[in-house]
Structure 1
Amino acid sequence: MSFERIAPEQYDSIPEVPEPVEHAELFGHVGEADELARAYRTGKFHHALILSGPRGIGKATFAFRLAHHLLANPRPAEAPSTLVRPDPASTLFRLMAQGAHPSLLHLTRPAADRGAGFKSAVTVDEIRRVGRFLSMTSHDGGYRVVIVDAADDMNRNAANALLKSLEEPPPRTLFLLVVHSIGRMLPTIRSRCQLLKLKPLAGDDLLAALRAVSPGSEEVPDDLAAKASGSVREALLMTQFGGLDIANAVDAVVSGGRFDVAAAYRIADAVGGRDSTVQFRLFNEHVAGIAEARAQAAGQAGDAELAARLADQWSGVRQRIVDTDTYNLDKRQHVVGLLGQLCAAR
């Protein structure tokens, strides 16, 4: 039976794969989930949480599971001390999945003003919805939950607008900020939130999650598990959209002794076509990950000058990705240019 999506499509949706809000299961992160459940039960709950960690490890799923826990248990003292698995057939679960629950606001990149696709950032207009949302009275006196996914996709104006809401939060309000790269968050936002660092999934959890969201998935090869780095999203893209071959090809070009222009154009042909939207996105994510890893490695090695230079390159890579998407630039030239840039900086 084919998958039927009931949640609104997002900028990073994967065909035939449920959105995080549609997941009843949470794989990994058990200790962190139970700690928050106990904090809620005992009245020691922070009003804003940053869920930080690599892309695709279940941060958004974690956020929606925690939101479900609060909405299903409006009286904290009577709430379970663990996050109980929700019933996918329940009214609460389905309202959340459809984006129709009055006490839950999910903010992400909005649809583009013209044509198909989505904007390249979480905009200030999206964040302004928070004020209107919080001005309404909770329908049952319980919590209202705002999820920003991903918060490091906010532009500067949006981040400043969110900061105002975090500074004076109404009672019984929870902000959940899903963050892939904590370094991109304003320090003033970070200082007003409790930081929760979620780790990549272990092998067993990764395999279980992969099978849950993509029934029939075969055993994960060793090289895929390593390439996916504990990310279900990466594993899915690699197994279903040729992402492992793309990652291997990119790594071969970037780590080679010289810039192989012919190989770069072969990659560009594979990911730059009209019907290769997912492959192009995977290429961009992998290249950005390489640039980020280089900057972090230099910083950890204590080479401040190199770390600063590589951090600038990482920022440039991200901006180039945004510009290509925003202005609909030539994808093949984008691919070759990024690969040449990474090779020149090694």
Structure 2
Amino acid sequence: MDLQSENYPLPRETYNFIGNDRLVDFLVFSEENNRLHHAYLLSGDKGIGKATFAYNFARYLFNNKKNNFSKIDRDNKHSRLIESRSHPDLFVIEIDKESKKNKIDVNQVRECIDFFNYTTALCNYKICIIDSLDEMNLNAANAILKVLEEPPDNSLFLVISQSPKSLIPTIRSRCLELRFERLKDDLLFDYLKQTMPDIEGDSIKEVVKISQGSLGRALMFFNEEIKGINENTKNLFSNSDNIDIYEFCERLLKNNNHLIKDFFEFLLFHLESLIKEESLKRINFKNKKLLNYFLLREELQSMILQEKYFNADKRQIILNLILKTKEIS
């Protein structure tokens, strides 16, 4: 899910990290006692702060721990260099959106290898943030594995993944996994209320309810287009005929896969909610609706994991999912 909106800062521009304090304490303690591992796998759901954590920890190290982890000055030299993507001791591997590619390729990893061939310029560490490993093609993943197997001196890899179980096992074995938990509802509500004082409390509560502990997802729901996609997806499970499924399909196709990914995530979320609702009812092994929900969820999870929609007839896949959803509702 593309959790970034043009109205909200990117992770490299975000200084206020919330939740998962135990992971902050663990890494700070590890560094203070010279026990830093060379590679950390930051795993967990999307939008819960993994990338923000990575950039904040990089800033913390670059500033020689002179500032509190979450209170680093936005105007200092290292912060400005990171925001402008020009820090000589930081390399970020991520999808190049300007090239309209949907995968991280091996050439980006080769640039990373070249980056580590040079000594540190301003700091004691050279840091690579990979955001995310899930979006690497196989050649790129194999290339980064070789680097992780023989890490350069003074190197630190902060590797982000939403689906660690789908990664190459040898990559996981070279990293120390830090599992990020979803944010608690009260923490998420307080943060949104503080940063968006003009939004009604009831509106924020509704957003928190459907955000599943994800700040990134919560921010998305304040975007009218994303909010509309979610509402239309939810309505697919009703008997309403108010949705023009063909017009809805064209809306999803217009944004270079991002809205498609959002649709898949929303569809999965509403399926999970309905499965939970049906499961709480009196046990009935002939509950055909529940069985159909499970089958659709399995198909959808497979599509998301394998990203089959990238190299297929997207229009047909979306229409089939919409028709299946309406059929079982």
Q: Is the 8 A contact 1:291 1:314 kept in 2?
A: no
Q: How far apart in 2 are the matches of 1:266 and 1:17? A: 31
Task: Sort the Cα spacing of 1:64 and 1:141 in 2 relative to 1 into closer, same or farther, 3 A.
Answer: closer
Q: Is the 8 A contact 1:242 1:279 kept in 2?
A: no
The correspondence of residues 98-177 of structure 1 with structure 2, limited to 5 A, is: 98-111=84-97, 113=99, 118-140=100-122, 142-177=124-159
Q: How far apart in 2 are the matches of 1:313 and 1:12? A: 19
Deviations 1:297-324 (A, max 9, x none): xxxxxxxxx9999656523345343236
1:26 aligns with 2:12: no
Which 5+ residue runs of structure 1 have no aligned equivalent? 1-10, 74-78, 296-305
Report deviation, 1:37.
Answer: 0.4
Tell me the SS of whatever aligns to 2:34.
Answer: coil
1:94 aligns with 2:80: yes
Q: How far apart in 2 are the matches of 1:15 and 1:36? A: 31
Report deviation, 1:45.
Answer: 0.9
Q: How far apart in 2 are the matches of 1:159 and 1:130? A: 13
Report deviation, 1:288.
Answer: 5.5
Task: Sort the Cα spacing of 1:314 and 1:293 in 2 relative to 1 into closer, same or farther, 3 A.
Answer: farther
Give the TM-score taking structure 2 as reference length. 0.80
- The letter for the 2-side match of 1:83 is F
Tell me the SS of whatever aligns to 2:97.
Answer: coil
Q: Is the 8 A contact 1:150 1:179 kept in 2?
A: yes
Q: Is the 8 A contact 2:185 2:209 kept in 1?
A: no
Q: How far apart in 1 are the matches of 2:255 and 2:95? A: 22
Give the % identical residues.
Answer: 26
> Whose RCO is larger (CA < 8 A, sep 6+)?
2
Q: How far apart in 1 are the matches of 2:5 and 2:178? A: 26
Q: How far apart in 2 are the matches of 1:155 and 1:291? A: 29
Q: How far apart in 1 are the matches of 2:130 and 2:271? A: 25
Deviations 1:275-295 (A, max 9, x none): 898655532332355689999
Give the TM-score taking structure 1 as reference length. 0.77
**How many matched pairs?**
310
Report deviation, 1:39.
Answer: 0.5
Q: How far apart in 1 are the matches of 2:142 and 2:273? A: 28
1:232 aligns with 2:212: no
Which 5+ residue runs of structure 2 have no aligned equivalent? 276-292
Q: CA RMSD for the aligned pairs? A: 3.5
Deviations 1:5-47 (A, max 9, x none): xxxxxx7641121111101111111121111101001011111
Question: 1:206 aligned to 167, 174, 188, which one?
Answer: 188
Report deviation, 1:160.
Answer: 0.6
Q: How far apart in 1 are the matches of 2:83 and 2:52? A: 11
